[in-house]
Amino acid sequence: MTELLSAKNLTVFRGERCLFHDLSFALNAGESLLIQGANGSGKTTLLRAVAGLLDLEEGEIRWRGFSTLAHRQAFHGEMAWFAHSVGFKNDLTLLENLRFESGLRSTSMGRLSAVLDKLGLTSLTQLPFRALSAGQQRRVGLARMLLANAQLWLMDEPLTNLDTAGQDLVVNLITEHLQGGGACMLASHQAVGLNSDMQRIVLQ
């Protein structure tokens, strides 16, 4: 097993409050990690810290053995981020939004129609993003993850706003991603019904 992501002694403060202290974990290819905890316990913060959106008070995160701070671009090139606000422009169409992504990161636009088909978005490509329902918008976010050639998926509450079919879809996508040798880190207060074993971190 190749170790992809490792975190050592992470400490993050939010203002005066210490959200977590001396947290360490490692993630191999094909493994997933679920962060659980009550609202406000720091799930999102931990995920943002791993992604590199937040500075760590202490500790170090390594991707394939290299520090993610020093090799930021290489790390971000292999990482996909799926958060509560999906990060698409309301005024652009679904297609324009996805095309923009391909200018920023390595994407397989050849798979576009297959991916859109899988997510049930094929008929919506010309609609402005604002016209989509919340669940559909989340699906477009999933489309971005599938198109990006990312080894590591960081997902914050991936099941929010999705119908039961959509939730099953997310679980299936993650399973496929793990089987393909990827790794996934999720933050969720709901139980994510993955078949494979998951590591868990419970934040107090």
Encoding tokens for residue 157?
């509450």
Smallest distance, another protein to C-beta of residue 95, A: 12
- Rounded-to-integer distance, Cα 143 and Cα 54, Å: 25
Residues numbered 45 to 74 that lie near another protein (CB under 8 A) are 51-55, 73-74
Query: What torsion do the CA atoms of 145, 146, 150, 156 make, to the nearest 10 degrees?
Result: 30
Residues numbered 73 to 132 that lie near another protein (CB under 8 A) are 73-74, 76-77, 79, 81, 83-92, 96, 100-108
Residues numbered 121 to 180 that lie near another protein (CB under 8 A) are 149
Nearest CB to another protein, comparing residues 17 and 191: 17
Nearest CB to another protein, comparing residues 107 and 136: 107
- Rounded-to-integer distance, Cα 189 and Cα 35, Å: 8
Smallest distance, another protein to C-beta of residue 54, A: 5
Picking from 57, 53, 50, 58, the residue whose alpha carbon sits closest to that of residue 9 is 58
Nearest CB to another protein, comparing residues 30 and 77: 77
Nearest CB to another protein, comparing residues 69 and 202: 69
Smallest distance, another protein to C-beta of residue 163, A: 22
Interface with another protein (CB under 8 A):
51-55, 73-74, 76-77, 79, 81, 83-92, 96, 100-108, 149
